[in-house]
Amino acid sequence: MPLLIDYLACFPLSKEDERLMMRAFDAALAAEGVSHVCYVSLTVCDDANIQAINKQTRHIDQPTDVLSFPTISYPDKQTAKDVPWFLQSAFNPDEKAVDLGEIFISKEHASKQAQTYGHSLQRELCYLLVHGVLHLLGHDHITSKEKATMRTKEEQAMKKMGLPEPDKNGMLKLAIEAMENSYSPYSHFPVGACLLTQDGSLYTGCNIENASYGLSNCAERTACFKAVSEGHRRFQAIAIAAKNTAPWPCGACRQVLSEFAPASMPIYVTWDGNTLESTLGQLLPHAFSPEYGIDAFLGKEK
Ligand code: THU
């Protein structure tokens, strides 16, 4: 059954992120057992926008992560699963779907929270959407009992939508295999990489050197360019393999990765049977990237 999100963004999402948000919406409805075709008006904005809405509607002059405004008012303490026929009252014949209401998400707030919790911005955006949709379905978190019920539903929905988690050991193995294809007759330093994209695809790469030394390409960037040229725009994790020393990515690769990855992205390195782990944010703090830097450059300072 099609589920609709009428999506409007001051801070646009990539097509891949939009697809994930649709899955999150679907999973939130399923967690409540809603089988009606439903839609929400979702606006992805920044802290200043959400602060203005918060002030106007709730007289709270503070930014926040998510605000939701339900169309349906459910009977006391009841939610959509208790009174499914209430959904019919918000049926919009033009959309041929139930209008659940409006949700505002601050991408700026979400990105700070993702860093705090150490997960991806995508996971945070999906979680906030799930939270907002549950509000539109009558849930609240005023009492501890309500809070626990809502949290359980959130977890169910996040599990159901199944954001793929990185398989660290599998990725390290693929990076070691990719190292075998290295073309490094000048440095004799083979490197292999394995990159995981947001939708769970894996891309490997090796370093490719050139007689004109400066034209050499690192393993990480080979994997990155392979993924981007196949249409991917968000990365979840990278594994890098070499011999004799820990192959932490060079500065150029850190910058290139930060174009497509959150600061929280894990970086696994392996050499001679050893492994270490860090994050892109630890290796490249205060990055000049779409997520954390370029908006300031464009005059949209956060
Ligand atoms: N290299 C990589 O593949 N990744 C890095 O992050 C650092 C360096 C390669 C480039 C060159 O082929 C060789 O290692 C020696 O610098």
Residue 301 has pLDDT above 70, yes or no: no
- Among protein residues, the one whose CA lies closest to atom 14 of ligand 1: 189
Instruction: List, for residues 194-216, the tens digit of each pLDDT value.
Output: 999 877 789 999 999 999 999 99
Give catalytic residues, as residue numbers: 220
The answer to whether the CB of 192 is under 6 A from ligand 1 is no
pLDDT at 298: 54
CATH among 3.40.390.30, 3.40.50.300, 3.40.190.10, 2.60.120.260 for 3-160: 3.40.390.30
Rounded CA gap, 171 and 195, in Å? 8
What are the tokens at 296? 């300031």
**Of all atoms in ligand 1, which is nearest to the CA of residue 222?**
3
Higher pLDDT, 85 or 3: 85
Rounded CA gap, 155 and 153, in Å? 5
- Among protein residues, the one whose CA lies closest to atom 3 of ligand 1: 218
Q: Is 33 helix (H, G, I), strand (E, B) or coil?
A: coil
Instruction: List, for residues 270-292, the tens digit of each pLDDT value.
Output: 999 999 999 999 999 988 887 65
User: Which CATH number applies to 168-298?
Assistant: 3.40.140.10
- Among protein residues, the one whose CA lies closest to atom 2 of ligand 1: 218
Q: How far is the CA of 52 from the centre of ligand 1 (A)?
A: 48
Q: Is 206 helix (H, G, I), strand (E, B) or coil?
A: strand
- Burial class from Cβ neighbours inside 10 Å (0-12, 13-18, 19+) for residue 251 reads exposed
- Among protein residues, the one whose CA lies closest to atom 6 of ligand 1: 249
pLDDT at 299: 52
At 189, the pLDDT band (50, 70, 90 cuts) reads very high
- Across all residues in the chain, what is the average pLDDT? 90
Report the alpha-carbon angle 164-248-165, nearest 5. Answer: 5
Q: Is 109 helix (H, G, I), strand (E, B) or coil?
A: helix
pLDDT at 220: 98
Q: Mean pLDDT check: name the lowest of 1-10, 39-48, 150-159, 249-258.
A: 1-10
The answer to whether the CB of 269 is under 6 A from ligand 1 is no
Q: Mean pLDDT check: name the lowest of 43-52, 272-281, 288-297.
A: 288-297
Asked if 281 and 263 touch (Cβ cutoff 8 Å), the reply is yes
Domain with CATH 3.40.390.30 in the chain: 3-160
Rounded CA gap, 294 and 277, in Å? 27
The answer to whether the CB of 252 is under 6 A from ligand 1 is no
**What's the Cα-to-Cα distance from 189 to each of 103, 218, 223, 240, 268, rounded to whole Å?**
51, 11, 17, 13, 18
Instruction: List, for residues 98-149, the tens digit of each pLDDT value.
Output: 999 999 999 999 988 887 776 778 889 999 999 999 999 999 999 988 999 9
The answer to whether the CB of 270 is under 6 A from ligand 1 is no
Higher pLDDT, 134 or 9: 134
At 295, the pLDDT band (50, 70, 90 cuts) reads very low
**Of all atoms in ligand 1, which is nearest to the CA of residue 219?**
3
Instruction: List, for residues 146-178, the tens digit of each pLDDT value.
Output: 999 999 999 999 988 877 668 899 999 999 999
**Of all atoms in ligand 1, which is nearest to the CA of residue 252?**
6
pLDDT at 248: 98
The answer to whether the CB of 257 is under 6 A from ligand 1 is no
Q: How far is the CA of 43 from the centre of ligand 1 (A)?
A: 42
Q: How far is the CA of 231 from the centre of ligand 1 (A)?
A: 25
pLDDT at 45: 93
At 2, the pLDDT band (50, 70, 90 cuts) reads low
Q: How far is the CA of 155 from the centre of ligand 1 (A)?
A: 41
DSSP letters spanning 246-293: --PPPHHHHHHHHTTS-TT-EEEEEETTEEEEEEHHHHSTT--STTTT
- Among protein residues, the one whose CA lies closest to atom 8 of ligand 1: 218
pLDDT at 216: 98
Domain with CATH 3.40.140.10 in the chain: 168-298
